[in-house]
Amino acid sequence: MSSQQKLFGVLAAALTPLSPDGSIALNELLPFLDFLYQRGCHGVLLLGTTGEGPSFSPAERLEILQVAVEIRQDHPDFLILVGTGTPSLEKTIELTRSAFNLEVDGVVVLPPYYFQNVSDAGLFEWFSRVIKRAIPSDGAFLGYHIPNMTRIPFSLELIQSLKDTFPGQFIGIKDSSSDPIFAQELGKRFGKELLVFSGNDRLFSLALDSCAVGCITAMANLFSRDSRQVWDANQRGQKLPEVQIRLDKARLLFDRYLPNPPLFKALLFRYGHFSRWAVRSPLVRMSDESLEKVISDLKGEFGEFTL
């Protein structure tokens, strides 16, 4: 099965379990991935923005990945993507090679975000070197379009150039631009020839209508059942506007408490699923007072809220 055929559906931009001292809670990683599977996720993106990927050393990232792939012993079809992008070309190549050596389903790669206002020509050269040196001939490479974080967008022209030059490897993009016009333009220009995963829950239905194949979102750590309903309905040629509205409301609420990793970790603890996972600096633990405010907001929006 080709990369294009097997990547689809609802993927959680997974949190990374951390012990109170900030070390990786590897013993909680597989139970967490199983939790996401049981709630309808087709798979995960590890070590993305929500997973605090840039806060981990290359050795730590590989340690996480080596444990994570064991989820396939119980769930062979569980998709595993991993974020391997860094500002360093050589580090990105090293991480990407190592990820494929562990037989992940694909990598999601940020642009080199240190220098701003770089040209498409420069970005094309950088990504070309990563693909040529680190991506197997049948490997799946997805660009990570999140310009509000990186300040470096994937233009439609850059996507086209990479797709034309590396049609078997550059297969898609995670669109976290939160831009409905861009989501529609991706569909109009590429159709099903480019695998687009929406990174914004509020745009999920619109993205699916614009030929997206799924979503990779932070909120899928908590609301994957709703996202899965929207995706399943789309596969049947149906729509579930009432479920999409629920996702819209939740996203608007959570956007008041950015950045989300401390919040989502606190909610998983508060509702009794996992221990109180730490976050890495510069993120800080959510205060108990703020957490209770979020829970009050959730109850006000959704009634007696449960996960």
Alpha helices in the chain (DSSP H): 3-6, 29-38, 58-68, 89-101, 120-134, 147-150, 156-165, 180-190, 204-209, 220-235, 241-254, 260-270, 288-302
Residue 49 is among the residues annotated as catalytic for this protein: yes
Q: What's the token pair of residue 229?
A: 């309903």
Contact 12, 261 (CB under 8 A): no
Closest listed residue to residue 198, CA positions, set 32, 43, 35, 8: 8
Catalytic residue among 49, 84, 92, 217: 49
Active site residue 165: no
- The one catalytic residue among 37, 174, 217, 265: 174
Q: Which of 50, 84, 144, 163 is labelled catalytic?
A: 144
Q: How far apart are CA 141 and CA 128, in angstroms?
A: 11
50 is catalytic: no
Catalytic residue among 114, 132, 188, 192: 114
Three-class DSSP category at 79: strand
257 annotated active-site: no
Catalytic residues: 49, 114, 144, 174
